[in-house]
Amino acid sequence: MPIPFDPWQSMIVAADVAMASRASSDDLAKRTAGRLRAVLDSAIHGSPMYRHLLHRSGEVRLADMPIARKSELMRSFDTWCCDPALRLEPLRRFVADPGNIGRPFLDRYTVWESSGSSGEPALFVQDAAAMAVYDALEALRKPDLRPMRRVMDPFGLGERIAFLGAIGGHFASTVSIERLRQLNPLLAQSVSSVSFLQPIELVVAQLDACRPSVIATYPSAAVLLAAEFRAGRLRSAPKEIWTGGETLTPAMRGFVQEAFCCPVVDSYGASEFLSLACECRHGALHFNSDWAILEPVDGHGNAVTPGRPGTTTLLTNLANHVQPLIRYDLGDCVTLHEAPCTCGSHLPVIEVIGRCDDTLRLGPAGHRVQVLPLALSTVLEEGAGLFDFQLVQNGPRELSLSMAGHGKAAVAALQRGRSVLATFLREQGAGTVRIHCASGQPPRRGRSGKVQRVIAGGP
């Protein structure tokens, strides 16, 4: 089954992304304005939902558009999308089959689902044009961490990349990697995916077998790998670490860089837009403002002044004309800065407060195992359909699993969660862990105000 890919379009987009990386603020603004007009036009004329919401004539401005929320969009999925052939139930059946990961839906769409970290997962559909944008941003906006590599290996033929994450579902990173492997058979030999749902011994063995020069993973997983390397259990030493999906603190970065003696580059993306920002060589996170719009807002939906963090952030995706994402509530806390970066780029600098969950150490004395927070979340979401949860460690062999919902359905969901979680922890080598369940419990919040879903504690 051919993968949707337009080589000519991809070349044009890549050239534009490369040029815009050095463009002035005015040039970037013109690109953004033109693409916004095109997306609004697609939404008004192609989406029955937006046509109904904005039944008026004349020019439509971004400020005229309502704030879009995931649950509301998913309820209106069949009228939200601009292609009438896109229907929710066939898509759900498609992503229910792991054999379809990376394969096109209806022979022309790339599909993935969100992790469900802010509620039940959503489904996102991209055509070849949107994927060309994501590909170009991923390839061309990362800093050149090893300049001599370009001289000795200009086409990157000697690079070996390993992605460590949840690889069994239709998640954006997993689908994107599998799609690229199918597009380019050479990548199938140099790009590997390793599941972080395995015991750490198996993760280490697989990484040592593929000897990656680059590891792409989450900050908490990078810290765990650095500890394994310092202990002598992981022998492969990458030359670069790419992180994303969680908050990378200065302490985490320093620990990983010191252990592996290699640079760490962080990025910011979402299921709704794969490549929102990436660090420059000075460590500033540059937002790809030529292909997306971010609006940090307060709790009432009003814009906050630059330099101040918003309660949440609204995203407008300028690349996806098939499934319009306009003023979409991301739920992330983003600060947009006006001051230019010393690296010379005019792409705006942002700060993001991402996930801040803890890695747990569980098991009997002398045989504690570390369990990654995203692995725990994946098990509860995928294995039990449990999304509205909080997991708190009470001791080395004791956890509390709670959710805000109540009633029979909540109790049943918690029981499923306890069962799959207990099995997973035994497989990780933690032995028997007591898991207490409670429904109707409001979640604890971290200092940022965001809900922590996995909280370490206990002696």
- For 334, the 3-state DSSP assignment is strand
Place of tokens 């306009």: 326
Q: In one letter, which amino acid is 202?
A: L
> What is the distance between the alpha carbons of residues 132 and 371, in angstroms, rounded to a whole number?
36
Question: Helix, strand, or coil here: 137?
Answer: helix
Neighbours of 231 (CB within 10 A): 9
- φ, ψ at 323 (rounded to 5°): -130, 85
Phi, psi of 237 (to 5 degrees): -115, 105
Torsion sign, CA atoms 311, 316, 317, 321: positive
Q: How far apart are CA 295 and CA 195, in angstroms?
A: 34
The crossing angle, in degrees rounded to 10, of helices 408-428 and 373-384 is 130
What do you get for the CA distance between the two ends of the chain, in Å? 53
Domains identified in the chain and CATH numbers = 7-353 (3.40.50.12780), 360-455 (3.30.300)
**Nearest by Cα to 4 from 137, 126, 181, 139:** 126
- Give how far Cα 32 sits from Cα of 27, 291, 312, 317, 319, Å: 9, 7, 21, 10, 11
- DSSP tally for the chain: helices H, then strands E: 15, 20
Cα–Cα distance, 364 to 427 (Å, whole number): 14
* pLDDT tens track, the chain, 459 positions: 667 777 888 999 999 999 999 999 999 999 999 999 999 999 999 999 998 887 665 677 898 889 999 989 999 999 999 999 999 999 999 999 999 999 999 999 999 998 665 556 799 999 999 999 999 999 899 887 665 554 444 445 568 999 998 888 899 999 999 998 888 877 778 889 999 889 999 999 999 999 999 999 998 899 889 989 998 999 999 999 999 988 888 888 999 999 999 999 999 999 999 999 999 989 999 999 999 999 999 988 899 999 998 889 999 999 999 999 999 999 888 999 999 899 999 999 999 987 778 889 999 888 889 898 888 988 988 888 887 789 999 999 999 999 877 788 889 999 999 999 999 999 999 999 999 999 988 776 554 445 678 988 765
Q: In the prediction, which pLDDT does 2 show?
A: 67
The residue whose two tokens read 């979409």 is: 328
Instruction: Return the residue matching tokens 């006006």.
Output: 338
- Global pTM reads 0.83
Task: Name which of 258, 435, 453, 318 is nearest 34 in CA terms.
Answer: 318
Q: Could you give the 3-state DSSP secondary structure of residue 386? A: coil
Q: Within the chain, what is the greatest distance between any pair of CA atoms? A: 71
Q: Is 367 exposed, middle or buried (0-12, 13-18, 19+ CB in 10 A)?
A: exposed
Residues 459 and 455: their CA atoms lie apart, in Å, by 13
Instruction: Look at residues 372, 352, 354 and name the one whose alpha carbon lies nearest to residue 362.
Output: 372
What pLDDT does residue 353 have? 81
In angstroms and rounded to an integer, the radius of gyration of the C-alpha atoms of the chain is 22
